[in-house]
């Protein structure tokens, strides 16, 4: 396969070693995603992903978690429970390589990555800068407020966390 044919999904980003973020991919993105060798996909959108993406996940033998708030609306921030559950899955090294995905890779994914950055000890200015780069003109101040107020003590630190997490 030629690297010329590899097209990343919308809002694709490298978060940490073997940890990626992006919006819902289409069939043109599947060869790119296949190269990542994903073991786990965490889906954070309120609705289910499209069937072609679900088929791809199944065909690749990728573990799939759907933790989007089904009771929520497109403008509601992600719930604290969803963030804590998601971080507990992300901190389990056996789930890697790993992708965090929502519809466009902007709000739910950005809020989760922001809370992860807070857990890593990043300062808020850097966290918000990263969130805004992916959100573009659609920044949601309530998501930034959620990140700022998120209590990292709610997250259970595993005995052997990924190397990029401070203990």
Q: How far apart are CA 101 and CA 49, in angstroms?
A: 10
> Are the C-beta atoms of residues 101 and 41 closer than 8 Å to each other?
yes
Q: How far apart are CA 49 and CA 96, in angstroms?
A: 21
Does the annotation count 102 as an active-site position?
Answer: yes
Q: How far apart are CA 79 and CA 95, in angstroms?
A: 22
> Are the C-beta atoms of residues 111 and 83 closer than 8 Å to each other?
yes
Q: How far apart are CA 67 and CA 43, in angstroms?
A: 6
Q: Which of 57, 90, 102, 165 is catalytic?
A: 102
> Are the C-beta atoms of residues 74 and 46 closer than 8 Å to each other?
yes
Residues annotated as catalytic (active site), given as ranges: 102
């Amino acid at each position: 396969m030629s690297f010329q044919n590899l097209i990343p999904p919308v809002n694709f980003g490298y978060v940490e070693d073997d940890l990626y973020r992006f919006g819902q991919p289409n069939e043109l993105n599947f060869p790119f995603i296949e190269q990542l060798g994903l073991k786990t996909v965490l889906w954070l959108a309120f609705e289910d992903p499209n069937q072609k993406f679900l088929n791809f996940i199944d065909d690749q033998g990728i573990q799939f978690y759907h933790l989007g708030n089904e009771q929520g609306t497109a403008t509601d921030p992600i719930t604290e429970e969803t963030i804590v559950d998601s971080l507990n899955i992300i901190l389990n090294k056996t789930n890697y390589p790993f992708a965090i995905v929502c519809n466009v890779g902007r709000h739910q994914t950005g809020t989760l990555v922001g809370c992860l950055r807070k857990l890593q000890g990043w300062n808020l200015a850097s966290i918000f800068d990263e969130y805004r780069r992916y959100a573009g003109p659609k920044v949601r101040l309530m998501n930034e407020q959620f990140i700022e107020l998120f209590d990292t003590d709610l997250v259970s630190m595993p005995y052997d966390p990924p190397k990029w997490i401070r203990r």
